[in-house]
């Protein structure tokens, strides 16, 4: 089924009109590292920076992975198909983990390569992208560059992706980007809701492809959640992306993958960059797959620090959405830019703006417990009402 670009925007966008979408600039669709960088430049010289802006694992990978990376230096001269292990070995190892065939897996130079290629493969000037607002910006960023229409569906009052509205908007769309848990709001939908979304989109719009991004899968503690991988293997036009950048602590290694039925994977395979994973990334990912205990420990650690941080902010009057990731989406009641810059001046660097909540909400990644305790002091300072009559100075952070 095809719809015109105008029809897609006018007929299916529920909370946002086409005009509003068109009016939003490119910067709204990019994971804006410029905002992170400009905040980082405000950290005073000599102050140890606490970088909780990019949803990274603050501890990095485990010893097995580090040893694997270090062990690969003598093979830096080899292409990934000639190294030991090779890129095919990594594909096979991921396939074995899920008990599928290698043809069900496509590797990406970070999962962002796969997100980008999904937009290229599955959207057109008449079959647009459906995404949440706010959600991870990669897919709408690419659609915008290609001039393909974007239907942004504002999250619901609990900051969860609005499933009903996304199903309605999916009719005639090329691609639905469903981020579960959703970055930046950190909320998750349970397995039943995701299955329902897939079933109903398949019924109303069978040619629409559904990308379920599970970048934060390993951090989820909500028992209603289950990975959509089995669904992707069963149902045509559905696939899941995963990454080693988050709980695995390997954001600098750039390894992600997509998993789905062979025919769904084919367009992604075609668009893949040759030799897209380095020999270091391959070795690191192979070692990480054999270290499940590291992931369990990281989930436990993150949950503890997440609970502490959420409670601390709550006591400061700043509510956050239920978090199922390694970050919180927090109502600080003021523009994110002001809060971000004030925190950076005291050594704490938090996330970029997330329209349409950039006037009230910030995204705070979960660092180590020590980092979050120090960050809590800074949040307290920044959030404290300034007494205008006395011109009271903000308390110095005791940990400088
Ligand atoms: C939801 C989501 N998907 C994908 C990515 C990109 O991860 P990668 O490092 O694998 O490209 C991120 C990174 O922050 C993310 O938040």
- Preceding peptide of 229 cis, ω within 30°: no
Distance 131 CA to ligand 1 centre (A): 15
Contact 171, 203 (CB under 8 A): no
171 and 273 inside one domain:
yes
263 and 194 inside one domain:
yes
User: Percentage of the chain surpassing pLDDT 70?
Assistant: 88
Euclidean distance between CA atoms 185 and 364, whole angstroms: 10
111 and 218 inside one domain:
yes
Check pocket membership of 264 for ligand 1, CB cut-off 6 A.
no
186 and 331 inside one domain:
no
DSSP codes of every residue in 318-338: --B----SSEEEEE-SS-HHH
179 and 205 inside one domain:
yes
Check pocket membership of 182 for ligand 1, CB cut-off 6 A.
no
- Total domains, the chain: 2
- Preceding peptide of 134 cis, ω within 30°: yes
222 and 280 inside one domain:
yes
Residue 212 has pLDDT above 90, yes or no: yes
Query: Which of 12-21, 86-95, 247-256, 282-291 shows the lowest mean pLDDT across its residues?
Result: 12-21
Residue 23 inside a domain? The answer is: no
Residue-wise pLDDT tens digits, 217-258: 999 999 999 999 999 999 999 999 999 999 999 999 999 999
Polymer length of the chain = 400
Euclidean distance between CA atoms 81 and 322, whole angstroms: 43
Residue 335 inside a domain? The answer is: yes
Contact 137, 127 (CB under 8 A): no
Residue 214 inside a domain? The answer is: yes
In the sheet with 129-133, reading across from the earlier edge strand, the strands are 105-108, 256-260, 238-243, 209-213, 175-179, 129-133, 150-154
Contact 126, 2 (CB under 8 A): yes
Check pocket membership of 332 for ligand 1, CB cut-off 6 A.
no
pTM: 0.91
CATH number (domain holding residue 325): 3.90.1150.10
198 and 329 inside one domain:
no
328 and 371 inside one domain:
yes
Residue 29's pLDDT is what? 62
Domain that holds residue 318: 28-55+292-399
Distance 172 CA to ligand 1 centre (A): 26
264 and 187 inside one domain:
yes
Q: Which one of 289, 306, 333 terminates a domain?
A: 289
Residue 2 inside a domain? The answer is: no
131-167: buried (b, 16+ CB within 10 Å) or exposed (e) per residue? bbbbbbbbbbbbbbeeebbbbbbbbeeebbbbbebbb
Contact 350, 383 (CB under 8 A): no
Instruction: Please indicate whether residue 328 or residue 1 has the higher confidence score (pLDDT).
Output: 328
40 and 187 inside one domain:
no
Burial of 27 (0-12, 13-18, 19+ CB in 10 A): middle
Return the residue whose CA atom lies nearest to atom 16 of ligand 1: 183
Residue 386's pLDDT is what? 53
CA 82 to chain CA centroid, Å, is 32
Residue 111 inside a domain? The answer is: yes
Residue 195 has pLDDT above 60, yes or no: yes
H-run or E-run covering 107: strand 105-108
Which atom, in ligand 1's list, is nearest to the CA of 254? 9
Contact 138, 112 (CB under 8 A): yes
Residue 18 inside a domain? The answer is: no
348 and 304 inside one domain:
yes
Euclidean distance between CA atoms 346 and 334, whole angstroms: 18
Residue 115 inside a domain? The answer is: yes
Q: Is the dihedral of CA 321, 324, 329, 332 positive or negative?
A: positive
70 and 216 inside one domain:
yes
Q: Which one of 289, 306, 326 terminates a domain?
A: 289
Burial of 209 (0-12, 13-18, 19+ CB in 10 A): buried
Residue 21 inside a domain? The answer is: no
CATH number (domain holding residue 143): 3.40.640.10
Return the residue whose CA atom lies nearest to atom 2 of ligand 1: 215
Residue 16 has pLDDT above 60, yes or no: no
Q: Which one of 256, 271, 289 terminates a domain?
A: 289
């Amino acid at each position: 089924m095809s719809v015109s670009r105008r029809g897609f925007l006018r007929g299916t966008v529920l909370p946002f009109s086409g005009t509003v979408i068109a009016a939003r600039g490119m910067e709204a669709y990019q994971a804006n590292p410029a905002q992170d960088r400009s905040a980082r430049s405000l950290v005073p010289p000599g102050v140890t920076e606490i970088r909780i802006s990019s949803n990274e694992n603050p501890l990095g990978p485990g010893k097995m992975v580090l040893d694997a990376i270090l062990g690969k230096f003598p093979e830096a001269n080899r292409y990934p198909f000639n190294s030991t292990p090779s890129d095919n070995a990594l594909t096979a190892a991921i396939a074995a983990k899920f008990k599928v065939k290698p043809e069900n897996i496509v590797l990406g130079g970070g999962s962002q390569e796969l997100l980008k290629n999904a937009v290229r493969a599955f959207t057109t000037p008449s079959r647009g992208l459906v995404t949440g607002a706010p959600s991870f910006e990669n897919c709408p960023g690419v659609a915008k560059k290609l001039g393909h229409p974007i239907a942004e569906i504002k999250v619901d009052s609990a900051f969860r992706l609005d499933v009903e509205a996304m199903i309605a908007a999916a009719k005639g769309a090329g691609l639905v980007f469903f981020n579960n848990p959703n970055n930046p709001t950190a909320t998750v939908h349970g397995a039943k809701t995701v299955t329902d979304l897939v079933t109903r989109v398949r019924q109303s719009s069978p040619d629409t492809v559904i990308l379920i991004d599970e970048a934060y899968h390993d951090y989820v503690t909500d028992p209603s959640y289950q990975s959509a991988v089995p669904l992707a293997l069963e149902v045509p036009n559905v696939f899941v992306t995963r990454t080693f950048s988050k709980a695995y602590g390997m954001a600098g290694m750039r390894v992600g993958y997509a998993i789905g039925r062979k025919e769904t994977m084919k367009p992604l395979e075609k668009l893949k960059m040759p030799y897209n994973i380095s020999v270091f990334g391959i070795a690191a990912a192979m070692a990480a797959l054999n270290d499940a205990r590291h992931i369990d420990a990281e989930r436990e650690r993150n949950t503890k620090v997440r609970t502490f941080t959420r409670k601390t902010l709550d006591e400061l009057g700043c509510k956050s959405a239920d978090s199922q990731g390694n970050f919180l989406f927090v109502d600080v009641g003021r523009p994110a830019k002001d809060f971000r810059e004030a925190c950076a001046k005291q050594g704490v660097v938090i996330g970029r703006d997330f329209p349409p909540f950039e006037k009230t909400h910030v995204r705070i990644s979960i660092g180590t417990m020590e980092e979050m305790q120090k960050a809590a002091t800074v949040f307290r300072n920044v959030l404290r009402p300034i007494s205008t009559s006395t011109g009271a100075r903000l308390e110095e952070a005791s940990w400088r």
